[in-house]
Amino acid sequence: MRLNIRLLVAVGVVGMAASPFLWNLWIRSHYGPDIFQPADVPSARVAIVFGARIHPDGRLSPMLRDRVDTAVWLYQAGRVEKLLFSGDSRSEDYDEPRRMMDYALVFHNHSYFPNFPYLRVLLLSLYIPPLRY
């Protein structure tokens, strides 16, 4: 009986340790043709940037920051014409699209400030206010 429990625990530990690698393998096998390096992304009119967590102090989560950085890079490289920031905007204090746009303007504007079309695209990107029921 003790041997069965030890074997079960060992298999569980090995399974948990291998699960990230197996998950990555499954993702690559199913979605590999649709995953691009930034330089290989086909040109598009619009890049939709999906939201993610915003910390209570207003900072973007690392995942969201990476999404916005990549989107701005794609825009600057001429791979996309416009950026569409999408996300939760349930209140004035929690507005993912607005925070994403603010981050893009503040952290990526330094070299593009004289470039008015860049500012215009970000400022005029589609912003849908929260629906009130």
- For 69-123, what is each residue's pLDDT tens digit? 998 888 888 888 888 888 887 777 788 888 888 888 877 665 544 444 444 445 4
131 domain residue, yes or no: no
Interatomic CA distance for residues 52 and 64, integer angstroms: 5
Please, which residues have CB within 8 angstroms of residue 83's CB and are 6 or more apart in sequence? 46, 47, 49, 71, 72, 75, 104, 121, 122, 125
Q: How confident is the model at residue 3 (pLDDT cuts 50, 70, 90)?
A: low
Q: Are 22 and 44 within one domain?
A: no
Task: Please indicate whether residue 122 or residue 4 has the higher confidence score (pLDDT).
Answer: 4
Q: Are 21 and 82 within one domain?
A: no
pLDDT at 130: 53
Q: Are 56 and 102 within one domain?
A: yes
Q: Are 109 and 47 within one domain?
A: yes
94 domain residue, yes or no: yes
Closest CA to 51 of 81, 83, 78: 83
Q: Are 30 and 85 within one domain?
A: no
Interatomic CA distance for residues 120 and 67, integer angstroms: 20
pLDDT at 86: 85
- Domain holding 19, by residue range, is 2-34
pLDDT at 111: 52
